[in-house]
Amino acid sequence: MTELSNGKHTRTEIFSQPDIWQATLHQLGEMEPTQIPDPTSYQRLLFTGCGSTYYLSLWAARMAEATNGVIARAAPASDLLLFPSSWLQKGTNTLLVAVSRSAETSETIRAVETFHAGGYGDSLAITCYPDRRLTSLTTKALSTPAAQEDSIAQTRSFTSMMLAIAWWLLPDPPGGLEDTLTIAAKQLIDTYAPLASELGRDMFLQRFFFLGSGPLYGVASEAMLKMKEMSLSYSEAYHFLEFRHGPKSMVDDQSLVIGLLSEQAQDHELAVMREMQDIGARTIILVESPNTEVEQAGDYVVTLASGLPSSWRAPLYLPFIQLLAFQRALAKGLDPDQPANLDPVVILDV
């Protein structure tokens, strides 16, 4: 297989995200409020998934608690299945939010069955496939069918389900959201695809560290997974300040440290990025709008330039990183459409 044919599905799915997001938001906007549960009517929200959708759950839980004031947690579906007493309590009005691209993942389906068998509360499925087994088990479902994928590694499905969750948690989206997000995404991809290719193909780089705090830790974790899945490269994800507590010992001049900057903690996050530069790493900063401090702390700066509130621009952190992992895979002669040892859906006898 030639490099030209490698990753044809993944390439299409990454570059299609602006249009898919627009279609997804349009479809969500046509839903009736009665089709989905009110998150504020529950005492607890418990998000769950496997792999990418577990990392999406980490982001969603922090978003939910910050925006709705409801206690929200995230757990791998396997933990809910194997250690239910660690996560589920009788007598609490809980909504289980089961996130699964395929709506067929074994652990997620079994976790929902366990949840309902115990009488713990209601459930909501977030998926790209509205007519599969998971949605038949949950009380309600929220789907993004336009984001369905042929590739194994999640790209547009992940970001589109992010938008679905944001739409559910934030009932008053900014005016012109569809067009604003689409324009920002197209500009981001067009502007920074060459940088992703340059750095992804730089084989001097051997270690990739993704840093994000608060809700963005879940996004950094997904970025780490994309690099591992597609390119079989050493990659890790950490909260910014946690990176100082041991993991930075792995940083050297063959390291690329990618920081997903927030607005709330930007000064502290930039201090970590400058420290990584001092150690010898190359640094990339993804930020809504740069300033002098950002440009000094980042050897490369990827500007989101969306003009959107932080809750709505989270998907914009991912296309550049997806392209970085994609180009790294091609440089290593791998096919991003077919990551080693992986299947599109994990179906187990559990």
Calculate the alpha carbon distances from 323 to 27, 79, 194, 326 in Å.
27, 32, 9, 5
User: Tens digits of per-residue pLDDT, 215-246?
Assistant: 999 999 999 999 999 999 999 999 999 999 99
The helix (run of H) or strand (run of E) holding residue 131 is: none
User: Using 50, 70 and 90 to split pLDDT, how confident is the model at 1?
Assistant: very low
Report domain extents, the chain. 8-169, 177-331
CB 69 within 8 A of CB 23: no
| Architecture (CATH level 2) of domain 8-169 | 3-Layer(aba) Sandwich (3.40)
Check whether 319 has a pLDDT greater than 50.
yes
Q: What is the pLDDT of residue 314?
A: 96
Check whether 32 has a pLDDT greater than 50.
yes
Q: What is the mean pLDDT of residues 80-96?
A: 91
Q: What is the mean pLDDT of residues 40-66?
A: 97
User: Using 50, 70 and 90 to split pLDDT, how confident is the model at 338?
Assistant: confident
Q: What is the pLDDT of residue 5?
A: 72
- Name which of 132, 165, 129, 131 is nearest 147 in CA terms: 129
What's the token pair of residue 66? 């910050």
Q: What is the pLDDT of residue 346?
A: 53
At the fourth CATH level, which superfamily is domain 177-331?
Answer: Glucose-6-phosphate isomerase like protein; domain 1 (3.40.50.10490)
Q: What is the pLDDT of residue 35?
A: 82
Check whether 56 has a pLDDT greater than 70.
yes
Pick the residue with more confidence: 148 or 349? Answer: 148
Residue 228's φ and ψ, nearest 5 degrees, are: -70, -50
The CA dihedral of 159, 162, 163, 167, to the nearest 10 degrees, is: 180
Q: What is the mean pLDDT of residues 114-136?
A: 94
Same fold, 8-169 and 177-331: yes
Q: What is the pLDDT of residue 194?
A: 98
Q: What is the mean pLDDT of residues 106-134?
A: 94
